[in-house]
Amino acid sequence: MAVDVKIGISDSSREVLVQTDQTSDDVHAAVEAALSGKEQLLKLTDDKGARYLIPVTKIAYVEVGSAERPRVGFGAA
């Protein structure tokens, strides 16, 4: 199940949206490693294979969505 990641970029009104096949825990670990100073870039790969390299100094916030999609239809409870 894909995880949605929204990254706010400082000095920009736009956000970077990435849908990745990585688990939520893997994304959290990558973000924590980058923001703790262990890495200079946040590295993510989306579900189509595109790679994103975001400089840590430009990250304003990171929002990691859940891996579970909302159910739609009559069977949704």
The reply to whether 10 falls in a domain is yes
Residues 6 or more apart whose CB falls under 8 angstroms from that of 38 comprise none
The reply to whether 71 falls in a domain is no
Measured CA distances, 18 to 25, 45, 51 (Å):
15, 8, 10
The reply to whether 7 falls in a domain is yes
The domain tally of the chain equals 1
The reply to whether 72 falls in a domain is no
Mean pLDDT over the full length of the chain: 88
Domain range for 13 is 3-64
Q: Grade residue 69 by pLDDT with cuts at 50, 70 and 90.
A: low
The reply to whether 69 falls in a domain is no
The reply to whether 73 falls in a domain is no
pTM over 0.85: no
We report the CATH number of the domain holding residue 51 as 2.30.30
Distance, CA of 38 to CA of 47 (rounded, Å): 25
pLDDT single digits (tens) 6-39: 999 999 999 999 999 999 999 999 999 999 988 8
Could you tell me the sign of the dihedral formed by the alpha carbons of 15, 21, 25, 29, in that order? negative
